[in-house]
């Protein structure tokens, strides 16, 4: 016991020192390849004899993916193809392969264990009520240990018989692993309050011990028979009082079942989800995932040296890693749970990968740019080397990523060009080649229409020319169509729209160019026959209206298509619409109406003609001029006697509302006898006593100027008569 304790202390101290000295994030590793699998891939199992990888689909349904890394991955497909899948009655969780039996055992969501014949990749039997989560195998006895959260079933792998079943007496049983040396089965009890490592006898599943753990495990359970250790990882802290934070890996002595050491593999950002042990290299590959205990990035593969129990590498991942398995090709195959993929992780410096290389279908005088995709799984900087050849001979004057076939000696129609692409990261390099036959160059056509919006009666003309990189003579041919229908006989360079086009029609010209060597190019240009707007002219009866004038307007309209209507009429005062009416080609506007126009206002008359699509407006504007004051006069008697009083009643009317005084001027014959004013008096008297019968008396009322124009006088006349 003393030696074991001293070894425990030494291992712990050494692990702490190495954790300080070793670089945690290593560039010499990374994702080398991915395959699209389906939603939430989970268990990963490798058949070492064939190299095929089997990936359980926890959400895809009844299909388990089969990936052969030796075959290039197919593009993502909406539906799986039968030759790459195994069909089950339910979704799958975990699987193990018995190579001697040529069988795979799979836990299903319906609590059954499926038995698969690997020679045909078909399910040949199932064991009901046996397992839905973890599964382990004793290859020597061909015994299978299948697990549900509440029980473990021991199955004879040779015939599928159930040998024994034990029911969980505590917690929530999750991960499972077999120890062939001590003949034990270890079970991870994921009870959030009392997590433990359950130790069972592998022959009868009797309980040996229930070992308390310092964190909650899941699938992180591996048996290291070389060091007589059991590795258990903490996915989450114990609830409600954490003893240890999530993300620690524990080494438990298989002899004493005591924890001898623990290290932080989560880096404070991830919980431990699963492990894969490689005894040959003393390496334990630990999947850590986000969210335990925080939402920071913790997705990674952490490599632990089992000889020193120290972290030697941390490989950050862009996805949440699930179960993993080692492949004979040296890669670790990991279920990318969050991105629905299977990822092959290169664990050391990886050679660059050229995913694709193609030269396409080049033709004479074009510039060949290869369609290529390459990368370095480690993220190392890479250099690309290009070697071009023509008909097997290296082209010495080109070393870059493009080849100009227009340059002399670089290739013509019928020649074979090749490219050898080499990608190097400074240590390893990858080479891939591609070839292509230079094809006949198609003629290049230049085409332009005289208008893309011609009118109904226009002539539409196409101007075309063609060139050919091979130097071939080119023949041009024209065809015209209207609304997608070929116009018979229209094979010239022009089209008369008076015969073949109306408003809204789409006219297309198609030009084909034939080089006589099978190369035919076509080009099409289109034009839409545009609407012809109506034309409107407008005349008015006056250009200097007064406040109370009536303006008479006349509109004259023409329309090329004969479908316009006239007119809508607008009257605007100082830019604001005061009246609208739909009428004919003539209209009267009475400015005497309130608000229609006063002195100084700008009145605008608009005549609007439209064809339902386009409108045309004709506009005439005028400034309302001053209306001079106008005098008015009436007499009390138009044939008075000399004994009568003659009274003149005067007034002034001003359309603009100006108030001005006025003058009464009394005349007898041509002689002015009396002037009264300026005044605002409404009457004036004139004495007739000195007059004789027959005298003509005239009174004139003359308004004063309103500041703009002189007043307009008004007169009244009376003739003196003899008294009776």
Report d(CA 531, CA 504) in Å as an integer: 7
Same domain assignment for residues 653 and 693: yes
Tell me what pLDDT residue 74 has: 54
Tokens of 452: 């893309």
The answer, yes or no, to whether residue 292 has pLDDT greater than 70, is no
CATH number of residue 10's parent domain: 2.40.128.630
Look at strands 602-610 and 615-623 and give their pairing. antiparallel
218 secondary structure, DSSP code: S
DSSP per-residue codes, 473-530: --EEEEEEEETTEE-TT--SSEEEHHHH--TT-EEEEEEEEE-SSS-EEEEEEEEEPP
DSSP code for 439? B
DSSP 232-279: EE-SBPPSSS-SS-SSEEEEEETTT--EEEEEE-STTT-EEEEEEEEG
**Residue among 315, 293, 324 at smallest CA distance from 215:** 293
Domain assignment of residue 122, yes or no: yes
Domain range for residue 404?
353-437
Which is it for the CA torsion 399, 403, 409, 413, positive or negative? positive
Structure confidence at residue 2 (pLDDT): 36
The model's confidence at residue 4, banded by pLDDT at 50, 70 and 90, is: very low
Assess if residue 66 is contained within a domain. Answer: no
Check: CB of residue 306 under 8 Å from CB of residue 283.
yes
- The secondary structure of 405-421 as a DSSP string is TTSTTS--TT-EEEEEE
CATH code of the domain covering residue 119: 2.130.10.10
The domain spanning residue 369 has which CATH number? 2.60.40
pLDDT for 228 beyond 50: yes
Both structure tokens of 262: 């623990």
684 domain-assigned:
yes
What the block records as the tokens of 462 is 């196409």
Comparing C-alpha atoms, which of 190, 114, 100 is closest to residue 146? 114
Please name the helix (run of DSSP H) or strand (run of DSSP E) that holds residue 8, with its range, or none.
Answer: helix 2-21
Give yes or no: residues 344 and 357 share one domain: no
Does 680 map to a domain? yes
Report the 10 Å Cβ neighbour count for 398. 19
**Residue 110 and residue 103 in contact, taking contact as beta carbons nearer than 8 Å:** no
Identify the band that residue 294 occupies on the pLDDT scale cut at 50, 70 and 90: very low
Using the predicted structure, report yes or no on whether residue 221 has a pLDDT greater than 90: yes
**668 found inside a domain:** yes
Residues 395/471, Cβ–Cβ less than 8 Å: no
Count CB atoms within 10 A of the CB of residue 688.
20
Domain closes at, from 409, 437, 465:
437
- 538: which DSSP letter? E
CA–CA dist 271, 300 (Å, integer): 10
Write down the pLDDT at residue 22. 29
Least confident of 58-62, 334-338, 437-441, 673-677: 58-62
Place of tokens 């605007």: 572
Do 326 and 226 fall into the same domain? Answer: yes
Q: What is the 3-state secondary structure (H, E, C) of 667-696?
A: EECCEEEEEEEEECCCEEEEECCCCCCCCE
Q: Is the pLDDT of residue 353 over 90?
A: no
Instruction: Judge contact between 169 and 198, C-beta under 8 A.
Output: no
User: What average pLDDT does the structure give for the chain?
Assistant: 89
Q: Are 502 and 460 in contact (CB under 8 A)?
A: no
Question: What is the rounded CA–CA span in Å between residue 72 and residue 69?
Answer: 7
Label residue 28 by pLDDT band (50, 70, 90).
low
3-state helix, strand, coil in the chain (%, to 5): 5, 50, 45
CA distance 326 to 715: 126
In a 13 Å sphere around the CA of 673, the CA atoms on its Cβ side amount to 17
Where does a domain end: 602, 623, 644? 623
Do 317 and 239 lie in one domain? The reply is yes
Q: Are residues 619 and 648 in the same domain?
A: no
Q: Are strands 403-404 and 367-368 parallel, antiparallel or unpaired?
A: antiparallel
- pLDDT at position 79 is 44
Between the CA of residue 423 and those of 103, 383, 387, 396, 439, what are the distances in Å? 41, 6, 12, 20, 28
- Count Cβ atoms below 10 Å from residue 593 Cβ, excluding itself: 13
Asked if residue 21 has pLDDT above 50, the reply is no
Q: What was the pLDDT predicted at 8?
A: 35
Whether residues 236 and 341 share a domain: the answer is yes
Distances (CA, A) of 2 to 12, 110, 445, 473, 565: 15, 49, 92, 98, 113
CA 229 centroid distance within chain: 53
Same domain membership, residue 604 and residue 541: yes
* 489 and 466 fall within a common domain: yes
Count of domains forming the chain: 6
pLDDT at 380: 84
pLDDT at site 26: 40
| Residues 67-123 pLDDT 10s | 998 876 555 444 444 458 899 999 999 999 999 999 999 999 999 999 999 999 999
pLDDT at 269: 66
Spatial distance between the Cα atoms of 558 and 564, rounded to a whole number of angstroms: 8
Q: Are 620 and 605 in contact (CB under 8 A)?
A: yes
pLDDT tens per residue, range 359-413: 999 999 899 999 998 888 777 899 999 999 999 999 999 999 999 998 999 989 9
pTM recorded for the entire structure: 0.56
Does residue 54 form part of some domain?
A: no
What DSSP element (H or E) covers 2? helix 2-21
The reported pLDDT for the residue numbered 291 is 59
Q: Answer yes or no: is pLDDT of 293 > 80.
A: no
Could you tell me if 291 and 339 lie in one domain? Answer: yes
Most confident range (mean pLDDT) of 159-163, 347-351, 373-377, 411-415 is: 159-163
Distance CA(271)–CA(317), nearest Å, equals 14
pLDDT in tens, 299-338: 899 999 999 999 999 988 989 998 999 999 889 999 998 8
Which helix (H) or strand (E) covers residue 699, if one does?
Answer: strand 696-703
- pLDDT of res. 5: 30
297 versus 162: the higher-pLDDT residue is: 162
For residue 486, tell me if it sits in a domain: yes
Lowest average pLDDT, out of 79-88, 372-381, 513-522, 604-613, goes to: 79-88
| Rounded Cα gap, residues 461 and 305, in angstroms | 81
* Same domain for 423 and 364: yes
Verify that 361 and 343 share a domain, yes or no. Answer: no
265 and 344 within one domain: yes
As a whole number of Å, the end-to-end CA separation of the chain is 170
Tens digits of residue pLDDT in 625-676? 999 999 999 999 999 998 888 999 999 999 999 999 999 999 999 999 999 9
The residues, ordered by sequence, that sit 6+ positions from 670 with a Cβ below 8 Å of its Cβ are: none
Give bridge partners of residue 405 from the DSSP assignment.
none
The CATH number of whichever domain residue 707 belongs to comes to 2.60.40.10
Last residue of a domain, one of 623, 654, 688: 623
């Amino acid at each position: 016991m003393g030696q074991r304790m001293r070894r425990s202390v030494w291992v712990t101290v050494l692990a702490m020192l190495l954790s300080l000295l070793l670089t945690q994030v290593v560039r010499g590793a990374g994702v080398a390849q991915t395959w699209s699998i389906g939603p939430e891939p989970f268990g990963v199992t490798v058949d070492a004899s064939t190299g095929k990888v089997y990936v359980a689909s926890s959400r895809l349904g009844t299909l388990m993916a089969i990936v052969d890394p030796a075959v290039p991955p197919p593009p993502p497909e909406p539906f799986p193809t039968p030759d790459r899948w195994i069909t089950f009655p339910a979704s799958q969780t975990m699987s193990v392969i018995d190579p001697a039996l040529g069988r795979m055992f799979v836990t299903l969501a319906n609590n059954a264990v499926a038995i698969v014949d690997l020679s045909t990749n078909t399910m040949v039997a199932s064991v009901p009520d046996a397992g839905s989560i973890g599964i382990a195998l004793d290859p020597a006895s061909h015994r299978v240990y299948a697990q549900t959260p509440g029980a473990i079933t021991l199955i004879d792998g040779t015939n599928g018989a159930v040998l024994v079943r034990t029911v969980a007496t505590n917690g929530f049983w999750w991960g499972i692993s077999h120890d062939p040396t001590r003949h034990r089965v270890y079970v991870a009890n994921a009870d959030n309050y009392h997590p433990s490592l359950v130790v069972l006898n592998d022959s009868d599943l009797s309980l040996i011990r229930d070992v308390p753990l310092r964190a909650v495990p899941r699938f992180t359970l591996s048996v290291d028979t070389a060091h007589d250790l059991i590795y258990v990882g903490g996915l989450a802290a114990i609830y409600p009082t954490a003893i240890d934070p999530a993300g620690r890996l524990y080494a438990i002595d298989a002899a004493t079942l005591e924890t001898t050491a623990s290290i932080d593999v989560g880096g404070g950002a991830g919980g431990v989800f699963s492990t894969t042990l490689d005894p040959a290299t003393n390496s334990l590959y630990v999947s850590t995932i986000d969210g335990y205990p925080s939402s920071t990035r913790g997705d990674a593969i952490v490599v632990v040296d089992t000889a020193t129990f120290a972290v030697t590498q941390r490989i950050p991942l862009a996805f949440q890693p699930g179960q993993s398995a080692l492949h004979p090709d040296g890669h670790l195959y990991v279920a990318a749970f969050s991105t629905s993929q299977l990822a092959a992780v290169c664990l050391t410096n990886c050679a660059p990968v050229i995913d694709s290389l193609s030269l396409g279908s080049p033709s004479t005088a074009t510039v060949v740019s290869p369609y290529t995709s390459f990368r370095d799984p480690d993220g190392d900087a890479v250099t690309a080397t290009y070697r071009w050849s023509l008909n097997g001979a290296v082209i010495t004057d080109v070393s870059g990523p493009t080849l100009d076939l227009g340059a002399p000696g670089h290739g013509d129609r019928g020649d074979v060009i090749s490219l050898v692409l080499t990608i190097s990261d400074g240590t390893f390099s990858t080479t891939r080649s591609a070839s292509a036959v230079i094809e006949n160059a198609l003629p290049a056509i230049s085409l332009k229409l005289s208008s893309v919006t011609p009118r109904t009666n226009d002539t539409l003309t196409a101007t075309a020319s063609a060139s050919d990189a091979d130097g071939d003579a080119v023949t041009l041919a024209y065809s015209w169509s209207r609304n997608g229908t070929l116009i018979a006989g229209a094979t010239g360079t022009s089209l008369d729209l008076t015969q073949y086009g109306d408003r809204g029609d789409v006219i297309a010209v198609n030009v084909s160019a034939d080089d006589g060597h099978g190369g035919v190019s076509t080009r099409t240009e289109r034009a839409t026959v545009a609407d012809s707007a109506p034309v409107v002219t407008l005349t008015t009866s006056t250009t200097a209206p007064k406040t109370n004038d009536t303006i008479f307007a006349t509109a004259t309209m023409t329309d090329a298509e004969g479908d316009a209507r006239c007119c809508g009429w607008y009257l605007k005062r100082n830019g604001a619409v005061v009246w609208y009416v739909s009428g004919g080609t003539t209209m009267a506007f009475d400015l005497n109406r309130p608000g229609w126009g006063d002195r100084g206002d700008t009145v605008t008359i608009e005549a609007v003609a439209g064809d339902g699509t386009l409108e045309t407006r004709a506009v005439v504007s005028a400034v309302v001029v001053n209306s001079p004051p106008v005098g008015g006069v009436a007499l009390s008697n138009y044939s008075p006697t000399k004994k009568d009083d003659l009274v003149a009643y005067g007034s002034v009317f001003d359309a603009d509302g100006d108030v001005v005084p006025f003058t009464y001027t009394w005349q007898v014959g041509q002689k002015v006898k009396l002037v009264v004013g300026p005044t605002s008096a409404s009457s004036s008297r004139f004495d007739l006593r000195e007059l004789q019968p027959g005298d003509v008396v005239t009174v004139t009322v003359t308004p004063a100027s309103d500041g703009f124009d002189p007043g307009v006088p008004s007169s009244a006349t009376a003739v003196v008569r003899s008294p009776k």
